[in-house]
A = this chain, B = another copy of it.
Amino acid sequence: MTGSVVVAGLGPGAQELITPEVTAALDAATDLVGYAPYVARVAARNDVRRHASDNREEIDRASFALRLASEGRHVVIVSSGDPGVFAMAAALFEAIEAGDPAWRDLDIRVLPGISAMFAAAARIGAPLGHDFCAINLSDNLKPWETVEKRLRAAAEADFVIALYNPISKARQWQLDRAFELLRGIHPASVPVIFATAVSEPHQRIDVVPLGDALPSRADMRTVVMIGSSQTRLIPRADGGSYVYTPRSLKAPS
């Protein structure tokens, strides 16, 4: 009786962005574990057991899934976007490393998904078309000084920057401070993309110059992308713009 734990990426929201690999894993599950809104998103069979939990309990959730698997259950931990990007995959391996040594022999798989930043980038053009980085703006699990150091390093080396978890009820000032820091390095004209609830019916994507970027455009469902010095806008006939970063960077002349 060998159980299994699969960490599956549901993508940003739309059903048509869920891979067949993930759909097959959900169909084979005996138990679904995850943050309540993600568990609710899955149209699974009636006989699957659903274990929904709060947002901040990742390690408890992972340990619970591992215990179920030890009892022979086939557990899918559902994650938004890609589970390897600021989501449940790292939490699962933290739980495995700290937990029962027998957990290392379980059948463990991570199934990738469409990450929020790539879904958002696709909807607006190709802002991540050149070198880029992804930073979790939350300072719940790392010192704020580290976040600032990375923002500065990324902007000075002219990476496009994707910010995950830019704001929450408990973290209100960090995004404003990040914009302030970036305005000290980049021209005010650099495009900033606020992409909220991408691929869902209430999707909203705003593009504003860094000089005018306000944290109030972001909420917990937003990915914020800050262009490099090379990121460009192409005006469209409908009044909107495509945003893209060219592949080429010329040598300084």
Q: Which residues of A approach B to under 8 Å, CB–CB? A: 11, 14-21, 24, 58, 82-86, 89-94, 96-97, 104-105, 108-115, 118-119, 121-123, 125-136, 141-143, 145-146, 149-150, 152-154, 156-159, 232, 234-237, 242, 244-249, 251-252
Contact = CB atoms under 8 A, between A and B. Distances in A.
A69 to B, nearest CB: 15
A149 B127 CA distance: 21
Contacts of A146: 158, 249
A158 B89 CA distance: 20
| Copies per complex of this chain | 2
Contact of A248 (B83, B133, B134, B141): B141
Contact of A245 (B83, B90, B232, B252): B90
B84 A114 contact: no
A235 B237 CA distance: 56
A90 B154 contact: no
